[in-house]
Amino acid sequence: MICANGQYISTQFEEEMMKRCFLPVLTALLILLGMPPRVQAEQTIKLGVVTKPGSAQNIVAEKFKELVEQRSNKDFTVKIYHSKSIGNETEILQQIQMNTIQLGVITGGPFDTFDPIARVINYPFLFKDSTQADAILDGPLGQEILEDLATVGFKGLCFSENGFRNLTNNKHAVLSAADISGLKIRVMASPLHKAIWSALGANPTPMPWPIYTELEQGVIDGQENPLWVMEVYKFYEIQKYMTMTRHVYSPHIDVASMIWWKTLSPKDQKLIQQAMKDAAIYQRKDNRDKDGARLALLKEKGMIIEEHPDLASFREKVADLKDMELFKEPKVHALLLKILAATK
């Protein structure tokens, strides 16, 4: 309405009329022009990672956030929960199953208590190198794993990476498997990882991430992780010896809550799926590009590094793992044999 001073102010009545008449007319017009209005309400998605900024998982998460927000014009906003702010990796996975968290970038290890099929990708000395890992995980065999996760409430999106795992300890240099005997090694919450280190002669201790204090206090003698972990978590301060065992290629499995996934339109599913794939590819390259500099840094910080241990002695000790109870379930056993054949 026009006031006495000639200024225009809208009354509640006019605003109401605007909503009732103008908006439907505008909507009809847009549809006629082939531009359907957005019906989707803005959504904040929660994404959980256990590690801290600068970590492999967080690099995936941040790239994903950037891509999704940009590509959806901020219809989706991504909130990243990191540094164990919503629990360890097992706890994050439980929250994803319930859809209190929608997405996670989670290390392969803890998945195997949810779905034993995930064990297959953590099999020791499985992949020759990262090119082979990419070929298998991005191909039909990787897809089989991602799809099987639906049986336990996850939509498997893709694989990013932690990387090849190496042993560190604070007792003595490890040059061959014989030197591992009796070392107290922290392992992930994964029956397979425990079995690997038992077979190698260690005293494996499952423990959730992070583990700096336990290493510092000597509760455990050592641990195994990719190079970035030794740098980002400053393990060079508390671990004297590193052996480049590369015994397990450790992917992250990037998952969504199946409950949430089913609420998304096919178009949004495609957007989320593609953004996570692109983030994973970006992060895998980033991780690999930095490994040379990391090794140099760890040496400079005074770690004693065995770059060419007697890997045959390690392989020999874990050779029979595929016949263990852990791989007895038919679908798991079948997939393991297929991947072993494909990576020969």
Residues that bind ligand EAX (CB under 6 A): 50-51, 107, 162, 188, 209, 225, 229
User: Measuring CA to CA, how many Å separate 33 from each of 26, 36, 243?
Assistant: 10, 8, 65
- Whether residue 205 contacts residue 215, with contact meaning beta carbons closer than 8 Å, is answered with no
Minimum CB–partner distance for residue 230 and ligand EAX (Å):
11
- Whether residue 263 contacts residue 99, with contact meaning beta carbons closer than 8 Å, is answered with no
* Of residues 111, 105, 107, the one with CA closest to residue 63: 105
- Assign residue 6 a region: left if phi > 0, alpha if psi is -120 to 50, beta otherwise? left
Minimum CB–partner distance for residue 338 and ligand EAX (Å):
26
- In the complex with ligand EAX, the residue whose CB is nearer, 51 or 102, is 51
- In the complex with ligand EAX, the residue whose CB is nearer, 51 or 168, is 51
Phi–psi pair at 39, nearest 5 degrees: -100, -15
Any idea which residue has 């409950």 for tokens?
Answer: 259
- Assign residue 302 a region: left if phi > 0, alpha if psi is -120 to 50, beta otherwise? left
In DSSP terms, 204 is beta-bridged to: 185
- In the complex with ligand EAX, the residue whose CB is nearer, 178 or 219, is 219
Closest CB to ligand EAX: residue number: 209
Give the torsion sign (CA, 225, 229, 235, 241). positive
Minimum CB–partner distance for residue 111 and ligand EAX (Å):
12
Minimum CB–partner distance for residue 287 and ligand EAX (Å):
11
User: Measuring CA to CA, how many Å separate 159 from each of 5, 192, 305?
Assistant: 66, 19, 29
In DSSP terms, 169 is beta-bridged to: 222, 241
- What Rg, from alpha-carbon coordinates, does the chain have? 25
- In the complex with ligand EAX, the residue whose CB is nearer, 225 or 245, is 225
Minimum CB–partner distance for residue 228 and ligand EAX (Å):
8
Any idea which residue has 């195994």 for tokens?
Answer: 224
How far apart, in whole angstroms, are the C-alpha atoms of residue 319 and residue 248? Answer: 13
Minimum CB–partner distance for residue 216 and ligand EAX (Å):
16
Minimum CB–partner distance for residue 93 and ligand EAX (Å):
12
- In the complex with ligand EAX, the residue whose CB is nearer, 130 or 162, is 162
- In the complex with ligand EAX, the residue whose CB is nearer, 231 or 261, is 231
Minimum CB–partner distance for residue 95 and ligand EAX (Å):
16
Instruction: Name the DSSP letter for residue 319.
Output: T
- In the complex with ligand EAX, the residue whose CB is nearer, 162 or 169, is 162
- In the complex with ligand EAX, the residue whose CB is nearer, 72 or 107, is 107
